[in-house]
Amino acid sequence: MIRVYKNYDLKKNSYSHLSAKVKYYIETDEIKVITGIIKTEKNYLIVGNMSKLLFAFKSKDITIIHYTNEEIKLKNNILIVHSGVSLKKLAYFAIRNSLEGFEKISTIPGELGGSIKNNASFLNQGINDLLLFLVVIDSFGNKKIILKSELEISYRNINNLDKFFIYQALFKVKKKTRFFLYFEKKKALEYRLKHQPHIHSFGSTFKNYKQLKAYEIINKFIPFKEYYGVKISLMHANFIQISPFLDYLNIVKLIERIQELVYNKLSFYLETEIRIIY
C-alpha cells in the first residue's frame, strides 16, 4: 500500500495538529517504497505518529514518510516487530500472549521506531530493555543489522541511529501471567493519570538533568506559567499545553525562553525531549 499527497498540511495527521505544509506526505507499509525514497530523495523525513515532533515552519520543501506496517510476529521467545507498530498495540499483543516487558510503556503515545530512537521509558520499564538487535535501512538504501551492544544508548537518545531508518526490532521475551501484566499496566496508567496533566501536549518537554527533574527546575526558576499565549501545566511544569490554534513560533519562543533563564541561573542547557524541525 502507498498513498501520496502533494502540498499536504500535516495538521491532518500530526499528533500536535499544528498547521505545517510539506511538499509530499507519503504513507506506506512497503519497505521497497522506503528504500526507493531513501535512494532518490535528498530532503525527506521518516516519521511515526509525530508525538515528539514540533514542526516549526509554515511551509517546507520536504517529503514526509510515514511507515505504517503494524506487523508483529512471535517465534519461540523472539518477538519481531515492525517500526510502524504503536506501543499501545505492542503491549496489547504482548499481554495477550503472556509476554512481559511492554505493559508499562503502553501508556506512551508513540510508535516503535521513534520510541527506540528516543530510548522511551516509563517508570522502570524501557522500550530497549529486551532489545536484541535492529534491522535498519542506511542512507544508501541498504538493509543491515545493528546489535544492541553496538548501540550508543543514553538517556532519551541513541546516539548512532540518526542516519538509519528502523525497519524491524527483535526482542527476547519471557512469559508472565496475564493477570500480573494487566495489573502492572493498570498501575502504570493510574500513575500517569495521577501525576501528569490531562491536557493535549508533547509529553515531557525537557530532559531531566542529572539528579534534577526538569519540572522542579521550571517551578523554581521560571517566573511565569504562560508566555505568548502558550501555557505551562500547573500540575506538571514540564508539560506544555498545545492546541491547533497555537502559533508554532510562540511554542518555540516559550521553549527557548525557559532554556535561556535556566542557563542564566544554573549555567547548563536544558535539552528538549521534543525534536523541533525547522
Q: Which tens digit of pLDDT belongs to each residue from 22-35?
A: 999 999 999 999 99
Q: How many Å from the N-terminal Cα to the C-terminal Cα in the chain?
A: 29
Count how many residues are written for the chain: 278
Q: CA geometry: angle at 163 spanning 81 and 269, to 5°? A: 105
pLDDT at 197: 92
Q: Residue 42: pLDDT above 90?
A: no
Three cell numbers, residue 195: 501525576
Residues 6+ apart with CB under 8 A from 78: 132, 170, 171, 172, 173
* Distances 95 to 67, 127, 177, 215, 274 between C-alpha atoms, Å: 24, 15, 8, 32, 29
Please state at what angle helix 248-266 crosses helix 214-221, rounded to 10 degrees: 80
Task: Tell me whether residue 192 is exposed, middle or buried, using C-beta atoms within 10 angstroms of its C-beta: 0 to 12, 13 to 18, 19 or more.
Answer: middle
CATH class label, 214-277 = alpha beta
Q: What value does the mean pLDDT take over residues 120-142?
A: 95
More confident residue, 210 or 61: 61
Q: Are residues 172 and 132 in contact, defined by beta-carbon separation less than 8 angstroms? A: yes
pLDDT at 135: 97
The strand pairing partners of 9, in sequence order, are 21
227 Cα distance to chain centroid: 25
Q: Residue 266: pLDDT above 90?
A: yes
Q: Which tens digit of pLDDT belongs to each residue from 64-85?
A: 999 999 999 999 999 999 999 9
Q: What value does the mean pLDDT take over residues 228-253?
A: 95
Tell the residue number behind the cell numbers 538509519, with chain if given: 164
Domain 72-195, what fold? 3.30.465
pLDDT at 105: 94
Pick the CATH number of 2-67 from 3.30.43.10, 3.30.420.10, 3.40.1080.20, 2.60.40.650: 3.30.43.10
pLDDT at 223: 96
Q: Which tens digit of pLDDT belongs to each residue from 191-239?
A: 999 999 989 999 999 999 888 899 999 999 999 999 999 999 999 999 9
3-state secondary structure of 247: coil
Mean pLDDT, the chain, integer: 94
Residues 6+ apart with CB under 8 A from 14: 20, 50, 53, 55
DSSP state of 86: B
pTM confidence score: 0.89
What are the structural domain ranges in the chain? 2-67, 72-195, 214-277
Three cell numbers, residue 147: 546489535
Three cell numbers, residue 187: 498501575
Q: Are residues 160 and 90 in contact, defined by beta-carbon separation less than 8 angstroms? A: no
